[in-house]
Amino acid sequence: MPRTNIRPALQERSREKRDRLIRAGLSVFSRCGYTQTRMVDVAAEASVSVGVLYQRFTDKRAFFEVIVDTLAERIERDVNDFFDEAERRAENAGEAWDLSELIGRVVATLVEMVARDVGFYLALIAVGEEVPGAIGRIAAVDHHRAQRLHAFACDRGLIDPTAIDEKKVFFALATAIRMLLVTATVDRAPIRLRAQETLAELSLMLVGYLQPSKT
């Protein structure tokens, strides 16, 4: 009998092991930061030998870069899913969002993004130039989010493209993410990351920036 399923099964197991290593790395880097993370700790988290980890990734920097790429790809998928759904809703006049609702939903996704991976973001910031291109990879996704938000809002007359360009949208979103990261590191009353007041106030600030009052 031909053994046609062997290669797909091996490939699937290989992907599963790689995913487990990346999840473990994300967890350890989030807890310990870049400098304090050791590959042996990642291996222990993933319940594999350190040799298995080094078979996949040559060193800590290379491993960190792979995790950054994986995180960036996940965020980009989330961004595309969000705006694809927004565009579907916009086709139905009864479900179309005004700027306040759109920004409120965008901020809600940013809150969840930061809450999910705050430790890794802080490790990424701390790395700086030690891992060339890592911050730039995430910044590219932030630019993509800004481009989609700008295009969506302009196409539906929610913002004035002569007053607000993509760079200003990027600046607004990047500022919001940094504010949320600061909030997440403290995250205690009266300012909590997931509090409705946090979401509402940040949304109000962004709407005011993107849709300034005409004088």
pLDDT at 13: 75
pLDDT at 11: 65
- What's at 115, amino acid-wise? A
The pLDDT tens digits for 149-180 are 999 999 999 999 999 999 999 999 999 999 99
- Taking residues 125-153, what's their average pLDDT? 91
Whether the pLDDT of residue 107 is over 70: the answer is yes
pLDDT at 127: 86
Tell me the CATH architecture of domain 65-210.
Orthogonal Bundle (1.10)
**pTM for the full model?**
0.87
**pLDDT band for position 12 (cuts 50, 70, 90):** low
pLDDT at 186: 86
Neighbours of 176 (CB within 10 A): 21
Percent of the chain at pLDDT > 90 equals 72
Neighbours of 83 (CB within 10 A): 20
The pLDDT tens digits for 26-55 are 999 999 999 999 999 999 999 999 999 999
Candidates 141, 132, 143; CA nearest to 64 is 132
pLDDT at 188: 82
pLDDT at 93: 65
Percent of the chain at pLDDT > 70 equals 92
The pLDDT tens digits for 69-102 are 999 999 999 999 999 999 988 887 667 789 999 9
Query: Three-class SS of residue 214?
Result: coil
Domain boundaries, the chain: 1-57, 65-210
Query: DSSP letter string over 158-201?
Result: SS-TTT--HHHHHHHHHHHHHHHHHHHHH-BTTB-TT-HHHHHH
Query: Which fold does the domain 1-57 belong to in CATH?
Result: Arc Repressor Mutant, subunit A (1.10.10)
Dmax over Cα atoms in the chain, in whole Å?
80
